[in-house]
Structure 1
Amino acid sequence: MTATEYLESIRRLDVRLRMKEKERACVEQDICSIQAIDYSKDHVSGTHTADIADKITRLDDIIAEIEREWDELINRRAAARRLIRTMPDGIGQELLIAVYVRARDIHEVADDMHVSRSQFYRMRMAAIQEFAPYYHKLGQIGTP
């Protein structure tokens, strides 16, 4: 994996994190909408009806899995931030962290830096080129 591919994979984590938040919200909503079993209806012999406790247990397992994945994604972002911080150029660090770790809009970052879009893209390319040796030296060991 190249340094650019690594940075892009970190940027895409933002989307995955937002999807995990939505998934967790849906599961929590499902827990709140579980209804009791209607025992007044006929029961067919040989079938197993899951009771509320079984459903809550399954939903709790799903939430636990989502939380484990969430923690893993957060840890990957933190590791990327630490790796970027090994660079000596403070402006390059902030640019890479803003764009790739915090997944901020490129145009907003350029505006915040008070540079034109074309100047921003040149700065980003220079920061990535500066980051590449640090990634290859320190980062590839722990990257997926």
Structure 2
Amino acid sequence: MTAKEYLNRVRKQNYVVRQAEKELTMVKSDILSLKAASLSEKVSGTKESDLADKYVKLEKYFDKVIAEWDTLIDMRIEAKAMIAMIPDETQQAVLYARYINCTEWEQVAADMHYSWKGIFKLHGRALQSFERVHGSTLAKCV
């Protein structure tokens, strides 16, 4: 596995978490809409049990989001420790901004006062440094 592939796993996990959170919000909104509709109608007890079932399913969505967050946090801790081992602090900063904070390239360049081309050169050097420092670890990753 290359340094870029390894670090992109953290970035991708961040998107997985965001999508799981969006899905949870949508399901929660749908359930609340059902609850509002059921409260406005006078219906037999079966609607309440249906609503209770929906809340149980909502809990499962919530558990999934928590699990994805746990995965992301563990990945970030590991990646941050590995990035911190790179001797050049500027290289650390570009990797941290891009892969830990998931910052877009335009913003990374602006924040670090680099041109578009300059930030990509720095990023390339940072990835090479990461691979030099962690080559044996990356070789074990699948």
What residue in structure 2 maps to residue 113 of structure 1?
A: 112
Q: 1:105 to 1:117 in 2, by over 3 A?
A: same
Cα deviations across residues 64-123 of structure 1 (Å, max 9, x unaligned)?
122112221222122211111111111110110001111111122112222222221111
Aligned twin of 1:46: none
List alignment gaps of at least 5 residues for structure 2.
Answer: none
> Does structure 1 residue 28 correspond to structure 2 residue 35?
no
Letter in 1 for 2:10: I
Q: Which residue of 2 aligns with 1:14?
A: 14
SS at match of 2:34: coil
Question: Percent of aligned pairs with the same residue?
Answer: 32
Give the superposition deviation at 1:138: 4.0
Aligned to 1:89: 88
- SS at 1:34's partner residue? helix
Contact 2:82 2:134 in 1 (8 A): yes
Superposition deviation, residue 16 in structure 1? 1.8
- Secondary structure of the residue that 1:39 maps to in structure 2? coil
Query: How does the TM-score come out when normalised to structure 2?
Result: 0.80
Partner amino acid, structure 2, of 1:91:
T
After superposition, the CA RMSD in angstroms is 2.6
TM-score, normalised by the number of residues in structure 1: 0.79
Does 1:39 pair with 2:39?
Answer: no
2:111 maps to amino acid: D
AA of the residue aligned to 1:132: E
What is the distance in 2 between the residues matched to 1:30 and 1:140? 46
- The size of the alignment, in residue pairs, is 136
* Separation (CA, whole Å) in 2 of partners of 1:100 and 1:127: 12
Task: Report how far residue 58 of structure 1 moved.
Answer: 2.0
Contact 2:2-2:138 at 8 Å conserved across structures:
no
Match of 1:131 in 2: 130
Structure 1 stretch displaced more, 3-12 or 82-91: 3-12
